[in-house]
């Protein structure tokens, strides 16, 4: 049933992370919708994190790409679909005729629906005849795929979310689950509340929000996870914590793996030294692991995004195999996927080295299965270029046309300036996106408008192999089309048969049939099998409930689903046995040096999604992290001459950026952490991808995003400032700026190097206030270099600017709240140029709980005044933390700090 009890609500799936939460959307009739959690969805059972809850705020059409456009001499020009697709097909045909099929490429995304992905892959591999289709999943979980394939023979995630609740020990490696997979984290925490004996261990160089609620945090030195897990393997073997029968009957290769591990990891003290972990802590972890049968090791980007990513994955799996911790409830190695349809992409074979339906490009039998099924004229027969090499080939000119779909590589690739160079040299760049302005679209010759979340229809698969429907509940805006449709129209223009799909259902049915085609033990067996869903009619597809694969239809007509794989201890290898993989230790490719003495670690913040094209629209998500930052240990800051709250320039051999210095992110000495989200649309110079080294894992091709040598230095400016304004501003004249979307205003943080002589004139020009009679209140202290001005239109605040040589400006929270008022009161006006309310307690401070908009000041004040002692008491008093729970770790931290400070004051 896609209709819920509320007749107007449509059941769909969240647009963001791989948890794949069920969402109920109720269109309001004005292009927006009310969003709530779907209580019937097994992933989240009604809960949503703050990003999911705020989906409604991202649906407006501001900034959307609505019509096909083609770049001419004087910029982009709107054209018809026919004209745009004819042009692309014409150029592709002539490039292929002249240079062969390897000269064109697709670069796609784990945020496409399975149906879109299936068509893209079929088009390239079976019709163009080239495997030059890669995806941003290369940057995300290709190491996890490679690791599973090496160990199990096929890319198979053995367990399901319920297992996380059944486990006695959950080890999170390189995963900030509290922020990046919040609903999964909430499920773990609730299980832990019910069974306090359940243990949570986090292995991460940073002390993240996830660590705040863990029993044990191992602050592993970046890049040394293989040592840590080799050490564990060696330890388990030594103390006899093994399952000899399982190892004997169901695995191969233990001896070789152990020999390798014992080379330099047999001594826990030596491992502790290399990993820079207190030896007692390391041993505590080893003992806990050895003593706990029901153990899950869940991992994400701290493992995958490494030049040793695939080995990290196999080092983890080896430890599970030696004790037979797999295939039973509550145990197993669990790769948590990032994007909503990372898994769907794997199923259709979206990576350049895969075929479709879990078959391999290099295997002639597999190629034959797929070619026969597709009735394809040609077939790619060797792996195509992986993302980093793909963009190199574009720069070098061997690839002459690239079509980017649903990803923003100018921001998200390593050595991102190289990607910019590549695209600016490429003969034909096509971009399909939902937004008009992205860093990548700036280089597109042809822009194609795609349907976005809420408008498109199809399926996604989450981290536990559960296929859920994304359903449309809004009309298609402008001339936007579904990605599968755009690709099919293009394929038809290329003269290819096999693309006359009429609906997402038609594509899905073909994909499901292929998964079952010749899929028998005697022919070409694969564990990926969704043939049970192949016969759904359009109505049944519409109504499809979230379903895990494999899913086959029994003779009785019933569907049979496996929620957990390998229960029968049979793996997808030729002999049915799992494989231990020897994982020799090696350090990250680029080491720190005198010139670049710090390690750059990059990742996510709680309330933004990737390049912010969608979350950046939601005011609810804006406050938690209002600008890009560089987190650094206070002693390193001192050493390198940068100060908290001020700006720093961070540079590597590859590029440079500017960000605000911050402490308190739990960063160890010797490294810095910078979020990935800011880009040229949201800041002047905060694109961290430009700094990241383009080193990759030799097996998976996944980039080393978490380890680049950098240096940091002061970014000298004469003044700091901020603007809040109802309109957007062009700030090219300012040395550094960042922007975020508030409720009815844009917030800009600024810093300048220019010497301002005429403050008033300069500020009026910057804000575009040319009318001498405008209601313009200002305060100027020339000696101190302090200037403040507020522009009022019809009794409403229109914009304000605050400048100072120091970071001593008021919190933006109260001024921001005035933008929601139609009329400023007398008392509001009194506070304007102070930037603070005259009434006590009216400044909530920076947002901590985005769901209920509760600020830090409010929380601190309540803790002191009402003597709150626990997070539960704070929630009962202020609601903060009571919805998605992502801010609970932060509330806990504030609680401790505030109570300590209050106690000190009393002394
Ligand atoms: N809020 C939010 N949530 C998201 C996303 C988002 O953009 N925003 N994106 C989604 C996507 S696509 C993905 S892939 C996931 C990513 O989810 P995560 O992998 O949880 O997120 P990251 O912040 O990239 O990195 C995880 C952690 O790896 C640690 N790390 C760095 N180096 C090492 C190392 O050598 N060893 C170990 N053990 N750890 C290390 C970092 O310090 C960091 O805390 O999040 C998904 N969810
Ligand atoms: N330094 C560093 N870089 C990283 C990472 C890191 O940890 N550190 N993580 C990497 C990882 S794991 C990932 S997954 C990537 C993510 O990086 P990207 O995929 O580049 O980031 P997004 O912002 O998600 O880009 C999605 C684009 O698709 C558009 N879009 C949204 N919906 C649709 C749709 O339905 N159809 C089409 N055609 N377009 C749509 C959006 O507007 C946006 O422009 O970043 C990678 N880059
Ligand atoms: S955890 Fe949050 S972002 Fe991820 S799917 Fe669920 S609601 Fe969406
Ligand atoms: Mo990702």
Averaged pLDDT, 160-167: 97
pLDDT (tens digit per residue) in 268-292? 999 999 999 999 999 999 999 999 9
Torsion angles phi and psi, residue 482, rounded to 5: -65, 145
Select from 43, 47, 49 the residue to mutate for testing ligand 3; criterion: most ligand atoms less than 8 Å from CB. 49
Query: Does residue 254 have a pLDDT over 50?
Result: yes
For residue 144, the SS3 value is: helix
Are 119 and 321 in contact, with CB atoms under 8 Å apart?
A: no
Give the mutation target among 13, 17, 110, 621 for probing the ligand 3 site: most ligand atoms within 8 A of CB: 17
**Token pair listed for 673:** 């952490």
Classified as helix, coil or strand, 700 is coil
Asked whether the CA dihedral 587, 593, 595, 601 is positive or negative, the reply is positive
Where exactly does CATH 3.40.50.740 map onto the chain? 69-140+341-561
**Residue nearest atom 11 in ligand 1 by C-alpha distance:** 338
**3-class state of residue 637 by DSSP:** helix
List residues near ligand 2 (CB under 6 A): 109, 111, 136, 139-140, 301, 305, 338-339, 405-409, 411-412, 432-435, 438, 450, 452, 456, 483, 602-603, 610-611, 613, 676, 688-689, 692, 705
CATH of region 142-335: 3.40.228.10
Determine the atom of ligand 2 nearest the C-alpha atom of 412. Answer: 47
765 Cβ neighbours under 8 A, 6+ residues apart: none
Whether 345 contacts 112, CB under 8 Å: yes
Best mutation site among 706, 709, 885 for ligand 1, i.e. most ligand atoms within 8 A of its Cβ?
Answer: 706
- Closest-CA residue, ligand 1 atom 15, reads 338
d(CA 416, CA 411): 6
Which class would CATH give 69-140+341-561?
alpha beta
CA dist., res. 412 & res. 778, Å (int)? 41
Ligand 1 neighbours (beta carbon < 6 A): 17, 140, 173-177, 179-180, 203-206, 208, 220, 222-223, 225, 300-302, 338-339, 601, 603-604, 606, 608-610, 706
d(CA 388, CA 139): 9
Task: Report how far residue 15's alpha carbon sits from residue 3's, in angstroms, rounded to the nearest whole number.
Answer: 19
CB atoms within 10 A of CB 901: 13
Q: Which letter does DSSP use for residue 532 in this model? A: G
Alpha carbon distance, N-terminus to C-terminus of the chain: 63
Which protein residue's CA is at the shortest distance from atom 44 of ligand 1?
A: 176
Residue 816 CB-density burial (10 A; 0-12 exposed, 13-18 middle, 19+ buried) = buried
What number of H helices and E strands is found in the chain? 30, 36
List where CATH 3.30.200.210 sits in the chain: 10-58
**Which of 845, 833, 354 lies closest to 624 in space, CA to CA?**
845
Residue with tokens 């908009």: 853
Instruction: For residue 623, count other CB atoms closer than 10 A to its CB.
Output: 23
- Write the residue with the smallest CA distance to atom 2 of ligand 3: 49
Q: Report which protein residue has its CA nearest ligand 1's atom 38.
A: 174
Nearest CA to ligand 1 atom 22: 603
Given a cut of 90, is residue 575 above it in pLDDT?
Answer: yes
Closest-approaching ligand to the CA atom of 136: 2
For ligand 3, say whether the CB of 182 is within 6 Å of any of its atoms.
Answer: yes
Nearest to 103 by CA among 308, 416, 388, 400: 400
Do residues 313 and 147 lie in contact, with contact meaning Cβ atoms separated by under 8 Å?
yes
Architecture of domain 598-714: Beta Barrel (2.40)
The whole-number pLDDT of residue 841 equals 64
The pLDDT assigned to 7 comes to 58
Which residues of the chain does CATH 1.10.10.1100 include? 847-906
Predicted confidence (pLDDT) at residue 4 exceeds the cutoff of 60 = no
Q: Are 174 and 294 in contact (CB under 8 A)?
A: no
Show Cβ contacts of residue 30 under 8 Å, excluding neighbours closer than 6 positions: none
For residue 736 and ligand 3, the question of a CB distance below 6 A is answered with: no
| Among 24-38, 107-121, 166-180, the least confident range | 24-38
In short, whether 26's Cβ falls inside 6 Å of ligand 3 is no
CB contact at 8 A, 519 and 539: no
Paired residues of 616 in beta bridges? none
Residue nearest to atom 4 of ligand 2 (CA): 412
The closest-lying atom of ligand 1 relative to the alpha carbon of residue 609 is: 7
**Could you give the 3-state DSSP secondary structure of residue 142?**
helix
Helix (H, G, I), strand (E, B) or coil at 833: coil
What CATH number labels 10-58?
3.30.200.210
Name the band, by pLDDT with cuts 50, 70 and 90, for residue 6.
low
**DSSP state at residue 127:** I
Tokens of 8: 């107007």
Per-residue model confidence as pLDDT tens digits over 598-607: 999 999 999 9
Measured between alpha carbons, how far is 30 from 756 in angstroms, rounded to an integer?
45
* Structure confidence by residue, pLDDT tens digits, 777-812: 999 999 999 999 999 999 999 999 999 998 888 889
Give buried/exposed letters for 653-683 (b at 16+ CB in 10 A, else e).
ebbbbbbbbbeebbbbebbbbbbbbbbbbbb
Q: Residues 464-496: pLDDT tens digits?
A: 999 999 999 999 999 999 999 999 999 999 999
User: What's the fold here for domain 847-906?
Assistant: Arc Repressor Mutant, subunit A (1.10.10)
Q: What is the DSSP letter of 576?
A: S
What number is the average pLDDT over the span 547-554?
A: 94
Indicate the top mutation candidate among 52, 615, 620 to test ligand 3's pocket, ranked by most ligand atoms within 8 A of CB.
52
CB-based neighbours (< 5 A) of ligand 4, an ion:
140, 338
Domain with CATH 2.40.40.20 in the chain: 598-714
Integer angstrom CA distances of residue 573 from 148, 152, 156, 324, 784: 11, 6, 12, 17, 73
């Amino acid at each position: 049933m896609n209709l819920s009890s509320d007749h107007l609500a449509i059941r769909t799936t969240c647009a963001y992370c791989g948890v794949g939460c069920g969402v109920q959307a109720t269109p309001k009739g004005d292009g927006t919708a009310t969003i709530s959690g779907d209580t019937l969805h097994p992933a989240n059972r009604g809960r949503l994190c703050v990003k999911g809850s705020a989906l409604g705020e991202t649906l407006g059409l501001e900034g959307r790409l609505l019509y096909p456009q083609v770049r001419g001499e004087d910029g982009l020009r709107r054209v018809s679909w026919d004209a745009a697709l004819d042009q692309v097909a014409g150029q592709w045909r002539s490039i292929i005729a002249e240079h062969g099929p390897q000269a064109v490429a697709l670069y796609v995304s784990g945020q496409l629906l399975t149906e879109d992905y299936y068509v893209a892959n079929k088009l390239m591999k079976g019709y163009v005849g080239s495997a030059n289709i890669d995806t941003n999943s290369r940057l995300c979980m290709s190491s996890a795929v490679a690791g599973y394939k090496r160990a199990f023979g096929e890319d198979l995630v053995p367990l399901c979310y319920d297992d996380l609740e059944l486990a006695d020990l959950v080890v999170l490696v390189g995963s900030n689950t509290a922020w990046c997979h919040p609903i999964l984290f909430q499920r773990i925490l609730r299980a832990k509340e019910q069974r306090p004996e359940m243990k949570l261990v986090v292995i991460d160089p940073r002390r993240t929000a996830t660590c705040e609620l863990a029993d044990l945090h191992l602050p592993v030195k970046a890049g040394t996870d293989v040592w840590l897990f080799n050490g564990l393997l060696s330890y388990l073997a030594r103390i006899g914590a093994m399952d000899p029968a399982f190892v004997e009957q169901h695995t191969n290769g233990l001896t070789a793996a152990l020999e390798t591990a014992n080379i330099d990891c047999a001594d826990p003290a030596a491992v502790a030294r290399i990993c820079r972990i207190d030896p007692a802590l390391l041993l505590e972890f080893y003992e806990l692991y050895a003593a706990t049968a029901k153990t899950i090791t869940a991992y994400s980007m701290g493992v995958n995004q490494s030049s040793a990513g695939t080995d990290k994955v196999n080092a983890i799996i080896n430890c599970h195999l030696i004790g037979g911790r797999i295939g039973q409830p509550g145990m197993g190695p669990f790769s948590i996927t990032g994007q909503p349809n990372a898994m769907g992409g794997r199923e259709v074979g979206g990576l350049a080295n895969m075929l479709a339906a879990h078959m391999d490009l290099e295997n002639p039998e597999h190629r034959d299965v797929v070619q026969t099924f597709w009735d394809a004229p040609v077939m790619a027969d060797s792996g195509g270029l992986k993302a980093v090499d793909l963009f190199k080939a574009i720069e070098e000119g061997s690839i002459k046309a690239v079509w980017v779909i649903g990803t923003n590589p100018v921001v998200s690739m390593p050595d991102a300036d190289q990607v910019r160079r590549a695209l600016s040299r490429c003969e034909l760049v096509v971009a399909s996106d939902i937004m008009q302005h992205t860093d990548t679209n700036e280089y597109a010759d042809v822009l194609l408008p795609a349907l976005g979340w809420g408008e498109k229809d199809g399926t996604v698969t989450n981290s536990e192999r559960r296929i859920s429907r994304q359903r449309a509940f809004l009309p298609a805006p402008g001339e936007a089309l579904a990605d599968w449709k755009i690709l099919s129209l293009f394929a038809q223009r290329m003269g290819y048969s096999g693309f006359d799909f009429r609906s997402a259902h038609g594509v899905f049915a073909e994909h499901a049939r292929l998964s079952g085609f010749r899929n028998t033990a005697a022919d070409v067996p694969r564990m990926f099998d969704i043939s049970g869903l192949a016969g759904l009619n359009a109505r049944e597809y519409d109504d499809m409930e979230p379903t895990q694969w494999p899913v086959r239809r029994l003779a009785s007509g019933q569907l049979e689903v496996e929620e957990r794989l390998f229960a029968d201890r049979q793996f997808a290898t030729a002999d049915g046995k799992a494989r231990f993989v020897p994982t020799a230790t090696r350090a990250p490719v680029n080491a720190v040096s005198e010139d670049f003495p710090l390690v750059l670690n990059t990742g996510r913040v709680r309330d933004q999604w990737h390049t912010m094209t969608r979350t950046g629209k939601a005011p609810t998500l804006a406050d938690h992290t209002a600008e890009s930052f560089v987190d650094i240990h206070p002693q390193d800051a001192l050493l390198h001459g940068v100060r908290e709250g001020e700006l720093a320039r961070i540079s590597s051999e590859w590029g440079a950026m500017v960000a605000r210095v911050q402490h308190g992110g739990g960063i160890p000495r010797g490294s810095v952490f910078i979020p990935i989200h800011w880009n040229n649309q949201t800041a002047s110079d905060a694109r961290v991808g430009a700094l990241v080294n383009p080193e990759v894992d030799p097996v998976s091709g996944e980039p080393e995003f978490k380890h680049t040598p950098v240096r940091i230095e002061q970014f000298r400016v004469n003044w700091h400032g901020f603007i809040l304004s109802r309109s957007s501003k062009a700030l090219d004249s300012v040395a550094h700026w960042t922007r975020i979307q508030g409720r009815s205003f844009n917030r800009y943080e600024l810093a300048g190097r220019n010497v301002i002589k005429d403050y008033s004139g300069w500020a009026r020009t910057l804000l575009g206030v040319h009318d001498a009679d405008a209601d313009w209140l200002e305060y100027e202290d020339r000696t101190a270099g302090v200037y403040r001005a507020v522009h009022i239109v019809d009794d409403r605040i229109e914009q304000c600017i605050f400048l100072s040589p120091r970071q001593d400006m008021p919190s933006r929270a109260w001024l921001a709240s005035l933008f929601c008022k139609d009329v400023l009161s007398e008392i509001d006006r009194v506070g304007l140029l102070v930037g603070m309310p005259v009434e006590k307690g009216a400044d909530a401070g920076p947002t901590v709980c985005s769901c209920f908009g509760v600020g830090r000041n409010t929380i601190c004040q309540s803790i002191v005044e009402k003597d709150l002692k626990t997070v539960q008491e704070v929630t009962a008093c202020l609601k903060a933390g009571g919805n998605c729970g992502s801010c609970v770790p932060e509330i806990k931290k504030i609680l401790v700090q505030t109570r300590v400070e209050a106690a000190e004051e009393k002394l």
